[in-house]
Structure 1
Amino acid sequence: MKLGEIQKLKIEKKVEFGVYLSDGQDRVLLPKKQVPEGAGIGDEISAFVYKDSKDRLIATTNMPKLTLGQYGVLSVSQVNKVGAFLDWGLEKDLFLPFKEMTRQPSEGDEILVRVYIDKSERLCASMKGIYELLSKKPPYQVGDEVEARIYEFGHDFGTFVALEDKYSSMIPRHEDVSKYRIGDVIMVRITGIKEDGKCDVTIRDKAYVQMEDDAEAILELIDSYAGVLPFSEKASPEVIKRETGLSKAAFKRAIGRLYKERKITLNDGKIRRAVD
């Protein structure tokens, strides 16, 4: 009997509360409300085998959104002190343990997970290991704009996203993703495709468009410091990233634009708001 898989099983015995299905060796109960009308002894049925709330094997003719080894997007129906529970199309929700979370989701979030069997022989969900399951054969070109779902934060390399929930990709670590949550779907632009098929993407607009937004944000930051920034474009990339959320290159581009438009002055190593 294959736990977590859809399989062909034969009706071996009828009982008052359903029928028993057999694979030739083991048997499992298919509850009465799941039995197809007119089905009889010896008939073959496609069924999914999982465990009920008492950890007993049980069959269903309802098909789950994911089976063992598959990955996909599921909605979080509940979060409690033991983990989260995901709606996968069956009466009993799929359990997501805390130890299998890359970041704790909230009720209603739609997140990428895979299905596995834990040490207690139960079907569970995991937010880990998604990277290995995503395709490395993207149908995109550099410059394409694509929907991407965030599935993992916090790596030294950057933020991992799945393009259209299928293809492997990453937002570089210098881009500010602090306003996003796990499971968020965002628009990204393809900036490169590696030889192994993995995509590099950006959440920023093309430089000439993004520069306007960056420049306005810097002006607001200068105003918050009473008209004088406490650091200059010669500051370390880490300081600039921490204070502005921008890479050093983007910061310098925006400063250059503001200076050209005479909205700031650059004297004595200080960046000041220009006085009208």
Structure 2
Amino acid sequence: MDRDRRQVRTKAPNRNLQAGMILRMRVARKKEIGYFLTDGREEVFLHRNEADGPLESGEEVEVFLYHDHEDRLAATMAMPYVGLDEYGWLEVVDLSSRMGIFLDNGINKHLLVFIDDLPKLRDEWPRPGDRLLVAIKRDPKGRMLAKPVTEAEVGQIAVPADHTMKNKQVVGTVYKVIQAGAFLLTDEDHILFIHRDEMTERLRLGQSVRCRVSFVREDGRLNGSMRERKEVQYGEDAEKLLRYLINRDGAMPYTDDTPADVVREKFDMSKSSFKRALGKLMKERRVEQVDGWTKLIDNQVE
């Protein structure tokens, strides 16, 4: 199945015309700026700009119904990328600090994701060019909107990973951000979680990320890390601390006992990574800890 489109489409039911319907309608009459279409009971307007070409009275066309910019039910011959009660990936094209974000769904009217359905922290909002995994719904007034997918909907898409995935590099897109980290759906449709301690930058909804699979759970879900494997990261973190010490004339007021939040703020690493890097440097007799300070041994300042 196409990763970008999960089809659950049904034919238009026998009821009043509503946004999201795809159905065949007949040209009832022509006007200078467009056409009035009918399903035999109701009429809806198709602007010339929304038609594939000139139409004649009595001609039947397939159209998609939506609410235009003046909130009127209208028709277009352009078909949406993701239809009503479908879910799929749509590109972010604009944002409004008051309303939310807008997605390109293949027609002139962009879909809105309301601000209430977005992360509270603005820097976790998606940016133009990002892609969101959304489901297309109707609001209480019958207008179409997009909502981030639920866990149940992601579960219908996702496939379990096997243990051969460990330590492989994968690319995924963030579909949910929580305080502890971010959930991604990989290009192979595996669910992957990255804890904040394993991020090299704060992730946002809709962001595409390349990372390493650090653990494969029994249920086939993955844990991931944006950091190098520990044996590589130890050296990088130790070098980072050495640079910091050198720039401070060989001493810093941080040791194994420094609180985790201070370590995170000063060095952008977890407390455990900090302690491992310090341990490596002390084992190599490059630094020592004295009276709450870490110092270069023999004043090894470049």
TM-score, normalised to structure 2's length? 0.75
**Cα contact 1:68–1:116 (8 A) shared by 2:** yes
Question: 1:23-172 to 2 correspondence within 5 Å?
Answer: 25-33=41-49, 34=51, 41=58, 43=60, 45-69=61-85, 70-79=87-96, 81-102=98-119, 103-104=121-122, 105=125, 108-114=128-134, 115-126=136-147, 128-134=148-154, 135-139=157-161, 141-155=165-179, 157-164=180-187, 166-172=189-195
Q: In 1, distance between residues paired with 2:127 and 2:244? A: 35
Flag structure 1 segments of 5+ consecutive residues without an equivalent.
Answer: none
Structure 1 residue 8 and structure 2 residue 30: aligned?
no
Work out the CA distance in 2 between the residues paired with 1:99 and 1:14. 42
Q: Do the aligned partners of residues 13 and 186 (structure 1) sit closer, same or farther apart at CA in structure 2, a change above 3 Å counting?
A: same
Counterpart secondary structure, 1:241: helix
Cα offset for 1:203?
Answer: 0.8
Q: Secondary structure at the match of 1:149?
A: strand
CA change 1:184–1:118 in 2 (3 A) is: same
Partner in structure 1 of residue 13 of structure 2 = none
User: RMSD of the TM alignment (CA)?
Assistant: 3.0
Contact 2:192 2:221 in 1 (8 A): yes
**CA distance change for structure 1 residues 81 and 218 in 2, over 3 Å: closer, same or farther?**
same
Q: In the alignment, is the contact (CA less than 8 A) between 2:44 and 2:73 conserved in 1? A: yes
Unaligned 5+ runs, structure 2: 1-16
User: Post-superposition, which runs of at least 4 consecutive aligned residues in structure 1 deviate over 6 A?
Assistant: none
Aligned residues: 271
CA distance in 2, matches of 1:129, 1:142: 27
Asked if the contact 2:30–2:56 (Cα under 8 Å) also holds between the matched residues in 1, the reply is: no
Task: Give 1:227's aligned amino acid.
Answer: G
Change (3 A) 1:216 1:183: farther
Which one-letter code corresponds to 2:245 in the other structure? Answer: I
Are the structure 2 counterparts of residues 14 and 197 from structure 1 closer, same or farther at C-alpha, using a change threshold of 3 Å?
farther
Q: 1:166 to 1:15 in 2, by over 3 A?
A: farther
User: Does the C-alpha gap of structure 1 residues 165 and 129 become closer, same or farther in structure 2, counting only changes over 3 Å?
Assistant: farther
Q: Percent identity?
A: 24
**TM-score, normalization: structure 1?**
0.81
SS of structure 2 residue aligned to 1:143? coil
C-alpha distance in 2 between matches for 1:35 and 1:122: 24
